[in-house]
Every structure is written in C-alpha cells, then in structure tokens.
Amino acid sequence: MQEIRLERSQYQCVISPYAAPVAHVRDGETAVFYTEDAFWGDLTSEDLDPKQLNTYSNPLVGPVYVEGAHPGDALKISILDITPTRDIAVSCIHREFGALQYNRRVKFLNDPLPLKVYLYHYKDGVYSHGNRLSFSPDPFIGTIATAPEIQAPSSNTPFEQGGNMDVPDVKPGNILYLPIQKEGAYLYLGDCHARQGQGEACGAALEIAARVTLKLEVVPGLTLRQPRIESPTELMCIGSARPMEDAARIACYELVQWMIELGWDAMDAYQAITMDSSLYVGNMVDPNYSLVAKVAKELAYRK
Amino acid sequence: MQEIRLERSQYQCVISPYAAPVAHVRDGETAVFYTEDAFWGDLTSEDLDPKQLNTYSNPLVGPVYVEGAHPGDALKISILDITPTRDIAVSCIHREFGALQYNRRVKFLNDPLPLKVYLYHYKDGVYSHGNRLSFSPDPFIGTIATAPEIQAPSSNTPFEQGGNMDVPDVKPGNILYLPIQKEGAYLYLGDCHARQGQGEACGAALEIAARVTLKLEVVPGLTLRQPRIESPTELMCIGSARPMEDAARIACYELVQWMIELGWDAMDAYQAITMDSSLYVGNMVDPNYSLVAKVAKELAYRK
Amino acid sequence: MQEIRLERSQYQCVISPYAAPVAHVRDGETAVFYTEDAFWGDLTSEDLDPKQLNTYSNPLVGPVYVEGAHPGDALKISILDITPTRDIAVSCIHREFGALQYNRRVKFLNDPLPLKVYLYHYKDGVYSHGNRLSFSPDPFIGTIATAPEIQAPSSNTPFEQGGNMDVPDVKPGNILYLPIQKEGAYLYLGDCHARQGQGEACGAALEIAARVTLKLEVVPGLTLRQPRIESPTELMCIGSARPMEDAARIACYELVQWMIELGWDAMDAYQAITMDSSLYVGNMVDPNYSLVAKVAKELAYRK
Amino acid sequence: MQEIRLERSQYQCVISPYAAPVAHVRDGETAVFYTEDAFWGDLTSEDLDPKQLNTYSNPLVGPVYVEGAHPGDALKISILDITPTRDIAVSCIHREFGALQYNRRVKFLNDPLPLKVYLYHYKDGVYSHGNRLSFSPDPFIGTIATAPEIQAPSSNTPFEQGGNMDVPDVKPGNILYLPIQKEGAYLYLGDCHARQGQGEACGAALEIAARVTLKLEVVPGLTLRQPRIESPTELMCIGSARPMEDAARIACYELVQWMIELGWDAMDAYQAITMDSSLYVGNMVDPNYSLVAKVAKELAYRK
C-alpha cells in the first residue's frame, strides 16, 4: 500500500493546479496519507501564538495525481481510516477569527478577544483539557479537494471542488465524491480533526496530525457541481457559499438534483426533502460557510 | 383540564399585545389548545389555490393570559402531547415562496414555479401521497410565541419571543422557554406540523390541525433574550434572524451564555460548543431564518 | 394650515394599525407636523446614557388619518419643508449598535465600544462639535410610514410601507409614495436628521426635533409593494431587507417594474439600469437595511 | 512609452502569482495596455451565446512586473486615459447570472431568463441600441489587481488586492492604490466598461476593448488590506465580500482607518463618516459584492 509522506517544505497552503504532483495513484488504489495539523505541528505550548509561527495555516498533502481522472468525471473517495499520529490535539481562540468575534470579513472597531491556546492530551479514550473539556474522538478530514482547472484557492477556503469544508461527515465509513476539473484530479488533503461540533464555532477544532487511508476511484462521466457524501444509510450534498442561506440553498438544490437522477420528479423531491431531511452547519467560520443537506437512502431510493 | 377552542373568527394572524385574551390559565396549569392548520383548514383539494382562499396564513390561538407572568420572567412550556384532529395533512409548492425559488425577499425576474398542492392521507401510521411521499408522524408546534411589549409581528415571522420558528424540537417531551415582555405573557400558538425536515425547504410541511396539551409555568426572574429548549438530554438555543449567519451566531452566543449561567468560563464554553454541539437549520423560508444550537446536558452540567 | 403637535405621552414607538388617530387630514391638504428627535429630546448632555433615559427610541407623530385613503391606493407625500426647532443636534456611538460593532443581530463575545454622546450646536449655518466635526444641514425625515393592515412594527424598523428607512432622499423638494394597506392610511413620522451620510454608519445621525410641512394626496389605484421617491430629475425605489443584497435586489426589481409601467420592455429596462443608475445604502444599521436605486427621469421617460 | 499588447493566447483568466510576467515596467513609468473586452471580442452578433464561445470570461493583460515593488508596499496607479479601440460595445442578459435572476450562488428551481445579447454602436458621442438604450461614455477599468502571494483567484472575482470590482470610480483622473503581496506586484488588468451604473445589475456593462494609459508608482511601506481610490476631491475605500453588509462594513472600517492615519480619533472619524460620506454598490453580481465608501478630502484633511 502506497504511503505518501511529505517533507515539511513540500506542504501546500493552496489547492493549486500549478504545483507538481507529489505522488501518483492508480484508479482503484488504496493509499495512506500522513497529514500535519492545521498549525504545522508547531503549536506545542499554550504560550505560543499561531500567527507568530506561520503565515499560512492548513498545510496540505498534495497534489496527488490520480491516473485515469479526467475533467467531467468524479473522484470517489472511500474513507477507510483516520488514525491520529500524536497523543495531543490543539485548539485555540484566535484574536480575530471565529463565529463569535469580528474577523477579516466582519470588520468591527471593538477590541479583539484575547488569544487562548488549548492543548488537549489523549488518554483512556478521550482528549482532555481539564475535567469539563474532555471529548471522545470522532475523527474526520477537515480539508480535502481536487484542484480547480485554473484557480488556486487557499487551503482555508471551501469551494466547489471541496476544500476546507470542516464537515464532520467526511469520516471513516463514508464516501466523498468530488468534481474533477483537471486531468489527474490533483487531490489535496489535510487538517484532520479528532472531533468537531457542527459549525466549528471558535474556528479551531481538535486539530491533529493523522494517518489517513483512502481508496480512490474514478467515476467516469459523473459530472458534479459540488461535493457529495454517501454514508451507509444516507445521501448528502454540501454547499459552500456566503451568506449562509446561499450555502443552504446550494445543498438543498443539489440534493433535489441527485434525487432527480434517481428517478424523482423535481417537485416531489422538493416535497420529500421538506418533510424528511437534515440540514446542518458544517462550518460557520471559514471564507465560505459549508452546509450539509442529507436524506435517508431508504427514502431516496423508493420507487 | 381547561380546553381552549376558538371560533374561526377568533383566530389571530398577528402576535399582538393589543388583542383581548381568549382565555386565562393559572401558573402551573395544564391546558388543551385546539389549533387550525396553516391554511385555515380550507385547502381541502389539490385544485385549490391557498392565496385565493385567505389573505393571511398561520391562524393562531391566543392571546392566552398566564396569571402571574410578568415582564422579565420566562414562560416554561412543557409540551405534553400533540394529537392531529383530522386524518389528512396538506402541503404545497407555492408560486413565490420557499427556499428554492424567488420570493418576497429575493426578487427575481424569472417566471414562478407552478403551484402544486399535496394532500396527504393518514393510514396505518403514515401520511402518504403516493408511494414515494409517505412519512411517519413526528409532530411539533410550528408557531408559538409570547407577545412583544409593543410590536405586533405577523404569525409567519419568528422573532425574539418565538413565533413561526418551524423548529422540529418544539415537540412532545421537550420544554420550551420563552421570554415574557408583557403582563400575562400573552401566549399564542398554532401551525402544527405532523412532520418536517430541517429547513422546511418548500415552505409548507405536513400542515395539520391539532389538539395540543401544554403545561404552563412562570419562571420568575429568568430574563431571556431568545427562546430556549430543554429535552431530556439536551439544551438548545434558537436564533431567528437574517442573514442566516446572524441566526447561527445568536444561537451559539445564547448557548455560551446559558453555559456561563451553569458556571462555565466563557472561553471554555466557546471551546466546548466548538467540539461537541449540533447546529441545524429549523427554517430557511420564513421572514427570519431560525437556527438551533444544542449541547448535551452531560457536557453542559459537568463540574 | 393644520398643525399637528402632540403631548409627550402621545408619541408612538410602533407603527400600529391599532392606535387611535391623532389627527385627520383631507386628501390634498398641506399639514405641519412637530416631531421630536430620536432620543425624545432627552439627550441634552454628553454625560447621559440614552439607554437609561427611555426604553424605546424614535417616538413618532401619528397615526394621522388621511381621508379618502383606501387599501390598494398610494399616499403621495410632497415634502415641502423641514425646519429644526432647536439649535442643537445630537448623535452618539452606542455600546451595542451601529455598523462597526456587534449589536443585537450580530452577537459577538468582544467587549462593547464605550458609549460616546456628541452634542452639536448650530451656528452660522453649520452644526459643530469642535472644528473637525462640523456639517452643513441637509435635513430629511428618518422615519415615515403608513401602517400595515394587521402588523405593528417598531419605529426602528424599515419595512414595506416605509418606516425607519434613514434614506437622505426623503427630503424637501422630493415626493415620497407609500403603499396604503389600511383605510385612512395611518401615517406616522418622526426621527428627522439635520444631515446624514449614506449608510448612517454609527447608527445615530444629526438627530433633531423638527417642524415638517407635508402635502398629502391619495393616488387611487396605485398599488405599490415598496416606497418610491420622485425628485425633480429622478425616480427612486427603496428596498428594505436583510441581507443587504436582498434589499438591493428589491430596489432594482421595483425600479424595473416602474419602468415597465412607463412602457419599457422588462429586459430593456434591466439593461438601462445596468448602464445608468445609482444604488446607494440608506442605512446599514437598522433591523432591515435600506437601499435606494435611482434612474434619471430623462432616461426613464424616453420613448 | 511602453506599449503592452498581447497575443490572444497570452491573456489570463486568473490573477495568478504563478504566471511568467508579460512585461516589466519601472517604478514611476507610464505604460499603455491594450485590453480585450469581457467576451474576448467574440460576441460580435446578437445571435451568439457567450457561453458557447469561451469557457472563461474577463481575459486580462498581465502579469506585469513592476520593478521595486515589494510585499508590504502599495502600488499607486494613476489612471491617465481609457480609449475604446472599437466602435461597438456589448452587453447581455445571461441565462443564469445577474442581480435579478438565480445564478451559480443563488440556486433556484425556476426556469432561467432567456439569453439576450445587446450590441451597442458608438456614434456622435453615444453608444446606442435603439433610441431608449443610448448612453454617453464614462469609461473605467472593471478588473485590475495585483497577484496574491500564493492564491490565484478568477478574473471574475473581486478580492483584497482588487480584481473584478466593477467600481465606476476606477476611471481617468483618479488614483487607485492596491496592496502588494508579491515581489514585482504582478499587475493584471482588463474588462473595461464604456459606462456602467452602480451595481451592474444584469452583470454585463457596456463591455469594450480599450487602450489604457497608467502611471505606476511604488509607495514603499504603505501596507494596505484593501484597495483605495483617491479622486481630486475625495478619498474612497472598497470592500469586496459577501453578504453585502460585510463588504459595506469593510469599506467603512477602512475609511475610518484611513482617517486615523490622517490624525483623526477613531470615534470622531466614525462620527464624521456617519454624517457626511457616500456608500454605493459597485457590483452586486460578482462572486464578491464590491461597495465603495467615500468622504470629501475637505473633511478628511481638516485639522
């Protein structure tokens, strides 16, 4: 099984079609990716300031060239396993970032919140920072994308080919489908979280370095506009946009389209998701908000 | 047990402090409310147009005067039971309303969607409209509010004292807390749904008339800014605003405030909801969007 | 000429269809209205806190019953004169209100800005607070509305019948058209500003008490969805909504509709405003944002 | 005077730090740039469909390497002249783009508007398409940016280093200041408009090919977060973001910061722009909305 492990200097903080592939995988191959945490593994003490450590966060492994992947196909990513590679996780309240304070896009004249770093230690099945702040792991991939054809978005941004969606359903047992715009797909991933609530309120989850095992397959001719997720029991669509209602509409619109592909009449599908679907906030802190609409397969596959 | 059942002419389509109470209940009393569906019970055929039938939708029972309720207190509403009073439910795709088409607030020059009414029949434990569109009941109250001190919002609007939140967790087994701004609380309710997905995509759920049993208690001195919900295992805060991120922020902010009341440090509470909370869309179709942030009591009550 | 001057206890802080008219005017009559400033005239020292003084701001004169005004007509309001009735104007940076700090709708955990009250004195044709902060008057009506049929919005809110739009073009020399939903129109006004920039950034302009002279005429059968303004050279439509793009779309959509009424093809009107219109922010601080789209009459009336 | 004129194959539809410079200019040099229109000059008949013609729109000239430009400096761009190079201009109503119809970010199930292309001919000082649609020129640069350090945004996107702002004040007689993030600045420009209203409602202005004359100077140590414009009489700040209120806040915040640089107290500057500034919508159709806050130099430079 191919293992893809980069030198520190090789990580990318953009999801770029212009970089040279760091590895090639075959269609159908299972590969292992060693990812760094969002802070480059440098936030090792609660006295450090992440802004002093690195200019860019969310270093990614990639681009990985998937053989046989053509523009207009989809990349089917079966998430087999995520294993943390250290026994700590790190989070922090940033000075000018997060849902409950002003930030780069919501500009206010108030004083910032004070920086506060949280180091969590893993022991006996939980990540803990004191008694109250202890959480069992439920790991997922925060950032995963194929490259756009000509743009190069930041590794902090969720967009139409994936990116920093921070959606907890991108986790082992589930399958992620990403649109392909570039020959070879150019897959990037990183920013794993040991656990995160919906919304990722303060903007930093339980950030971990991880060993990620993925099976990569090309689905020829499946042309997607947005990422999709399939769990054993559910179909999900992700919308990433601003304002948040634009993201919610995209997620719902794409779910209706998926049901139309399964044979539904458009208005009936619109009724169905009105009565029996979930719609949650993946992230409310990134340059785009990511929302997830989901419906049970039992309903979607009804005849 | 007091039963509150109105004449058709008595329903209200505003949540007004100016109307005369239709009933009085004592602090601690359990009462039964007979509510009409969102379409006044008039949408009895798929050939009818709801806009032709009534000028205003969501007729409410109220105001109900709760004795001992003073401004600055909270109204604790234990939802004991919701029983549909007919064997049909009704939904519809409106011409200019809903998440996936232009509407009164999102004005476009495109042609409207065609009107389509869906009558669902209840039999053998499911509401059905053909084979695909069949749903088991999970009833809740779509619209419930206390009156503002001086304003009178539409029964279609969710706001700081509740209103048309369309939040599926306002259901039997849970407790809703509403702010009180007016002597006697002036409770209004109606617009019950036999079932609804998160977001209420098309804008009309499985709309039903119902018999609603509530226990009403005053919590003296509990001054709330927004509605709260308590389930057997969870604490929830609702934010209703536009754009949707404003609603999401309000819900998260209020959840942090609730945890501060329980003894948490503000930054630790912010961390806690970052790692282990839910954040879902109640409605994405009403004059304000309603989002729900929730956290497990097990976490919130930790010492 | 009828003069409408209220006792302090008679002012309204809601735009309500439920209040008793304070005066009646005939269709075509010119009347004079004495309005109080947004702070009830109480903010007479820079050491006072407006939140301590009054629960509600923006006290209004009204409702004024306009004879012959029926639902479905428009109220044509020719603004003839606005004369300040004191030689001071007042503004303030609120603790939790304004465009550049968190507020009731944008909830953050940051510390508030400190309260700062600014008293301006009028002399030699300018309102001054020191040398830098001196401004020549360009007075307009901040809040003016007809009552909704059944709702009662706050005097702080702009909505479909007008309200707290804070649009500087509601000024002498211009004509405001408001939709009528209630027999008698139920006109309310107040909150005059000696001057205000576009956006009303901090949320309080040069707030003044004023003597306002209006000519009121009913336009039978002119059914409007939103307020319109006519200046000697321009046509304007106002959209009030959230998020701000919803307000911008409403303003542009209504301007296209106005041009269609003047004989334009819809797509040509859409082209015309693309090439030659203005679109400015009236307020970015109130419960709804108000945007103004305008086009030259020379263009709109072309054949 | 250096003239920069590209082959068709050399145009860029991303603002990329990864492309090879097409020209070098000295600090202080005046240069001439020949730009193509947003449709590559291919939309030469009203029967053509722009989506069939080219995958990407807004082809740009660049990157131009400015000698002596370092990250942390500003690029001062004096716009000396814009001369159209053809006697036609082109606009169109797109099927799924523009302010008054659904589009890639506002996803609805309605039918699209029909495509309609408008060719305008220039004669006797006006661009005309029939009698009603005739407009005098007031040309400006729709898209102009320096490259980000590592990202590569689309030429359709406005962002922190400029881009597709579609702000009519980027015109002859004014000076544009852009942040520099990359050695050599990497200037790109194109998408000139013969005229455009505020908001660019339908999403395509009077699109022209042009000969653009710019004087380029480096301002060492002037570190900007956003573009600024200086006219002979005014200072302006541009905010590009979504939702629109985020863009408005950025524009106002940056204007306050500029006034602080000029010696103002922050709260006094906040007061000043409240009373006497403009705030207009540049574009309401691009991936980010661009708003412009402006204040008179006479006010800003007061002591």
pLDDT in tens, A161-183: 999 999 999 999 999 999 999 99
Using CB atoms, pick whichever of D249, D272, D276 lies closest to residue C99.
D249
Task: Name chain C's partners: 3 or more CB pairs within 8 A.
Answer: A, B, D
By the 8 A CB rule, do D176 and D227 touch?
Answer: yes
Return all residues near B260 (Cβ < 8 A) that are at least 6 apart.
B266, B269
Residues of D in contact with B102 (CB under 8 A): 102, 108, 110
The Cα–Cα gap between C188 and A268 comes to 46
| DSSP at C152 | B
Give the dihedral sign, CA B169/B172/B176/B182. Answer: positive
The Cα–Cα gap between A193 and A171 comes to 10
pLDDT in tens, B154-177: 999 999 999 999 999 999 999 999
Shortest CA gap B94–chain A (Å) = 11
Across the interface, whether the CB atoms of A277 and B202 are under 8 A apart is answered no
Using CB atoms, pick whichever of B91, B252, B272 lies closest to residue A99.
B252
Q: Identity (one letter) of the amino acid at B303?
A: K
Shortest CA gap A201–chain B (Å) = 5
Give the dihedral sign, CA D68/D70/D75/D81. Answer: positive
Q: Using H for helix, E for strand and C for coil, what is the string for chain A?
A: CEEECCCHHHCECECCCCCCCCEEECCCCEEEEEECCCCCCCCCCCCCCHHHHCCCCCCEEEEEEECCCCCCCEEEEEEEEEEECCCEEEEEECCCCCCCCCCCCCCCCCCCCCCEEEEEEEECCEEEECCCEEECCCCEEEEEEECCCCCECECCCEECCEECCCCCCCCCCCEEEEECCCCCCCEEEEEEECCCCCECCCCCCCEECEEEEEEEEEECCCCCCCCEEECCCEEEEEEEECCHHHHHHHHHHHHHHHHHHCCCCHHHHHHHHHHCCEEEEEECCCCCEEEEEEEEHHHHCCC
The Cα–Cα gap between B154 and D253 comes to 35
Across the interface, whether the CB atoms of B13 and C153 are under 8 A apart is answered no
Torsion angles phi and psi, residue A266, rounded to 5: -60, -45
- Given a cut of 90, whether residue B70 has pLDDT beyond it is yes
Shortest CA gap D4–chain C (Å) = 29
pLDDT in tens, C124-149: 999 999 999 999 999 999 999 999 99
Selected residues 271-290 of chain A with any CB under 8 Å from a CB in chain D: none
Q: Which two tokens stand for residue B135?
A: 């749903």
Selected residues 219-278 of chain B with any CB under 8 Å from a CB in chain C: 239, 241-243, 246, 249-250, 253-254, 256, 266, 270
Task: Name chain B's partners: 3 or more CB pairs within 8 A.
Answer: A, C, D
**Cβ atoms < 10 Å from Cβ of D7:** 7
- Given a cut of 90, whether residue A234 has pLDDT beyond it is yes
Give the dihedral sign, CA D13/D17/D18/D21. Answer: positive
- Is the Cβ of A102 closer than 8 Å to some Cβ of chain C? yes
- Structural domain spans, chain A: 21-44+53-164+179-216, 228-300
Using CB atoms, pick whichever of C106, C110, C245 lies closest to residue A111.
C110
By the 8 A CB rule, do D187 and D66 touch?
Answer: yes
- Given a cut of 90, whether residue B1 has pLDDT beyond it is no
For all residues of chain B together, what is the average pLDDT? 97
ipTM, 2 decimals? 0.97
Q: Which of D138, D274, D286 to mutate to test the interface with C (most CBs of C within 10 A)?
A: D274
pLDDT for position D1: 85
Residues of chain C with pLDDT under 70: none
Residues of D in contact with C200 (CB under 8 A): 274
pLDDT in tens, C145-177: 999 999 999 999 999 999 999 999 999 999 999
Using CB atoms, pick whichever of D201, D272, D275 lies closest to residue C270.
D201
Omega of the bond prior to B21 within 30 degrees of 0, cis?
no
pLDDT for position A1: 85
Reading chain D (303 residues) residue by residue, the pLDDT tens digits are 899 999 999 999 999 999 999 999 999 999 999 999 999 999 999 999 999 999 999 999 999 999 999 999 999 999 999 999 999 999 999 989 999 999 999 999 999 999 999 999 999 999 999 999 999 999 999 999 999 999 999 999 999 999 999 999 999 999 999 999 999 999 999 999 999 999 999 999 999 999 999 999 999 999 999 999 999 999 999 999 999 999 999 999 999 999 999 999 999 999 999 999 999 999 999 999 999 999 999 999 999
Per CATH, the number for C2-219 is 2.60.120.580
Q: Give the nearest chain A residue to B282 (CA atoms).
A: A279
CB pairs < 8 Å spanning B and C: 71
Shortest CA gap B130–chain D (Å) = 23
pLDDT in tens, B199-256: 999 999 999 999 999 999 999 999 999 999 999 999 999 999 999 999 999 999 999 9
Using CB atoms, pick whichever of C102, C108, C243 lies closest to residue A243.
C243
Across the interface, whether the CB atoms of A241 and D105 are under 8 A apart is answered yes
- Is the Cβ of D97 closer than 8 Å to some Cβ of chain C? no
Across the interface, whether the CB atoms of C107 and A101 are under 8 A apart is answered no
Residues of B in contact with C107 (CB under 8 A): 239, 246, 249-250, 253-254
The Cα–Cα gap between B11 and B8 comes to 6
pLDDT for position C43: 96
Q: Which two tokens stand for residue A122?
A: 């893993």
CATH topology of domain A21-44+53-164+179-216: Jelly Rolls (2.60.120)
- Is the Cβ of B107 closer than 8 Å to some Cβ of chain C? yes
- Is the Cβ of D20 closer than 8 Å to some Cβ of chain A? no
Give the dihedral sign, CA D25/D28/D29/D34. Answer: positive
Give the dihedral sign, CA B44/B46/B47/B48. Answer: positive
For all residues of chain C together, what is the average pLDDT? 97
Q: Give the nearest chain B residue to D96 (CA atoms).
A: B110
pLDDT in tens, A177-201: 999 999 999 999 999 999 999 999 9
Question: What CATH superfamily classification does A228-300 receive?
Answer: Acetamidase/Formamidase-like domains (3.10.28.20)
Report helix, strand or coil for C112.
coil
Closest to B33 measured CA to CA, from B88, B79, B89, B90: B79
pLDDT for position C130: 94
CATH topology of domain D22-49+56-69+77-160+178-215: Jelly Rolls (2.60.120)
Question: What CATH superfamily classification does B31-218 receive?
Answer: Acetamidase/Formamidase-like domains (2.60.120.580)
pLDDT in tens, C254-270: 999 999 999 999 999 99
Q: Is B125 exposed, middle or buried (0-12, 13-18, 19+ CB in 10 A)?
A: exposed
pLDDT in tens, B96-119: 999 999 999 999 999 999 999 999
Across the interface, whether the CB atoms of C243 and B241 are under 8 A apart is answered no
- Given a cut of 90, whether residue B128 has pLDDT beyond it is yes
